[in-house]
Amino acid sequence: QITLKESGPTLVKPTQTLSLTCTFSGFSLSTNGVSVGWIRQPPGKALEWLALIYWDDDKRYSPSLKSRLTITKDTSKNQVDLTMTNMDPVDRGTYFCARSVGSRWMDYWGQGTLVTVSS
């Protein structure tokens, strides 16, 4: 059974750095072709793809957010971390992590975690 779960702060202040962790089970991020990514969704708005890390540690970022994002993995802990710097109220939303295998993008998703940015 494949599961993913996001964790992190529910509230951050403007200009602070957000750190989120995706903890997964049922698959290994050391398996060829596997990747884990992050997606966010402002309340009532569309999904937005953020970043992805592959089994071989290759990393990809949304061009519009690349300067603010860092994605890392700890294969031994089955975790993928995402940091986003200089948080702003417009960054409020639900942050999801999801697994991909090859071109089977985001086949399994976490439940999401709601992040609010406010002073």
Partner 1 sequence: QTVVIQEPSVTVSPGGTVTLTCASSAGAVTSGFYPNWFQQKPGQAPRALIYSTSNKHSWTPARFSGSLLGGKAALTLSGVQPEDEADYYCTLYYGGAQVFGGGTKLTVL
> Which of 56, 57, 74, 107 is the binder for partner 1 (CB under 8 A)?
107
CA distance 111 to 100: 16
Q: Give the shortest CB-16-to-partner 1 separation in angstroms.
A: 26
Residue with Cβ nearer partner 1 (77 or 105): 105
> Which of 61, 71, 73, 75 is the binder for partner 1 (CB under 8 A)?
61
Is residue 63 a contact residue for partner 1 (CB under 8 A)?
Answer: yes
For residues 80 to 99, the per-residue mask of contacts with partner 1, x marking binding by CB under 8 A and - elsewhere, is ----------------x---
Burial of 10 (0-12, 13-18, 19+ CB in 10 A): exposed
User: How distant is the alpha carbon of residue 116 from its chain centre?
Assistant: 16
Coil vs helix vs strand at 7: strand
Residue pair 116/68 in contact by the 8 Å Cβ criterion:
no
User: Contact residues for partner 1 (CB under 8 A)?
Assistant: 37, 39, 46-49, 52, 60-64, 96, 103-112
